[in-house]
Chain A
Amino acid sequence: MKDVKVLGSGCKRCIATAEMVQTEADKLGIEVHLEKVTDYAAIAGYGIVSTPGLVIDGKVVHAGGLPKPEDMARWLAA
């Protein structure tokens, strides 16, 4: 069970990122607990400046722009 947080104020790319998490996790057969963090204070608390940001098991793995699916698979599998 992976704890995945998508950081972003609800922009188009943030939604696309969250969908990509689910798609890639399903492909790999990994169970994820997906949460969208939209609170600006909470987002800043993770130290990122650009959204969408991606936090997996408490670790920031990505910030700014849509991640690549192959990277997503790698982060989820790690």
Chain B
Amino acid sequence: MSLNAITERAPGAAPSTAKWVAWTIAALIAWGVIYSQLVPFAAWIVAATGLDAKTHLGEAVSFFAYDTPKVLLLLTLVVFGMGVVRSFFSPEKTRALLAGKREGIGNVLAASLGIVTPFCSCSAVPLFIGFVSAGVPLGVTFSFLISAPMVNEVALGLLFGLVGWKVALTYLAFGLAVAIVSGWVIGRLHLEHWLEDWVRNIRAGAIDLVPADLTVIDRIKAGIEAIRDIVGNVWPWIIAGIATGAFIHGYVPSDLLATIMGRGAWWSVPAAVLIGIPMYSNAAGIIPVVEALLAKGAALGTVLAFMMSVIALSLPEMIILRKVLTLRLIAVFVGVVGTGILAVGFLFNILF
């Protein structure tokens, strides 16, 4: 087994690389063909069930039959692309880039690297300790920790596919802004003494990890691995999200949402942020709901605030971070990020 793998990497690598690239291109073409057939497919499903597309149930089924394959296809493509891009980054490299950076420029860099650095909330604690103990300023570490889960490829890819590129770009810009400003504010407050004691006393060991030489094949494999890992894990969330979205599409009267979540109701933005905190979903589950809310007349700012709150302020992550942060520091974190999200929500409802 291991011998095979070694011989595969030896001189014969060139034709093998061509083969992998050719297969990747073929898969992308197949993807495009399937994607172009989604509308007829959904119409066929609705026709097969014998439902009238004008009824509540018909509308809901049509939404579900069209959106499920569409979201899964888009997600697969985006996750593959980001899997390849992320093979060029690692949390260790990101830390080396951020160590000793001044605040300000450090916050911008950290938030941006948060988009492309592979990150899993299960390693949020080692990452936090690793960053702080290596001399990455606290505020800069927070910028990374806010941006990494919130502004990610799943959120951007799905928003782009379902709601359009304008909303996706807006989300990117304002998500980064919230991460940069919140991190900067936390840094200004000088709360280092609010870390748990043992965290402050850790000195990170020097690391001399030899970076693996990745070939083109390795990077394509990284993309496929990302699909298996991410799409394999989030698909139940997506189905649940689309089912919720389908229900909203078919059954919730549009004027109801326009009243509750419309531009006129100023209190809807803080309400959306508050409701979002205990709700825990990832971007994949929440975006089909976002699309449905928008279609029913909810204001963009309110919906964006809701989405950011659900993704960025999650109870499970706070419980994990409690191991390294005191409750006071977590409260500041929630307060600062929540205020940033509120500002985004209000700004949008006024501007658009």
Interface string of B115-127 (1 = CB under 8 A from A): 0001010110111
Closest Cβ neighbor of B221 among chain A residues: A68
Interface string of A30-58 (1 = CB under 8 A from B): 00000000001101111111110000000
A16 is an interface residue with CB less than 8 A from chain B? no
Number of A-B contacts (CB under 8 A): 91
Complex-state Cα separation, A47 to B92, whole angstroms: 9
**B319 CB to nearest A CB, Å:** 13
Closest Cβ neighbor of A67 among chain B residues: B212
**B144 CB to nearest A CB, Å:** 11
**B100 CB to nearest A CB, Å:** 16
- Known A45-B202, A45-B204; contact A70-B5, beta-carbon cutoff 8 A: yes
Q: Assign chain B's interface to a size class.
A: 20 to 34
Q: CB-CB < 8 A to B120: which residues of A?
A: 50
**A72 CB to nearest B CB, Å:** 8
Partner of A49, one of B92, B198, B212, B323: B92
B133 is an interface residue with CB less than 8 A from chain A? yes
- Known A11-B123, A50-B92; contact A45-B2, beta-carbon cutoff 8 A: no
**B337 CB to nearest A CB, Å:** 22
Judging by beta carbons under 8 Å apart, are A64 and B118 in contact? yes
B296 is an interface residue with CB less than 8 A from chain A? no
Partner of A61, one of B122, B209, B323: B209
Which residue numbers of A lie inside 8 Å of B, CB to CB? Answer: 8-9, 11, 24, 27, 40-41, 43-51, 60-65, 68-71, 73-74
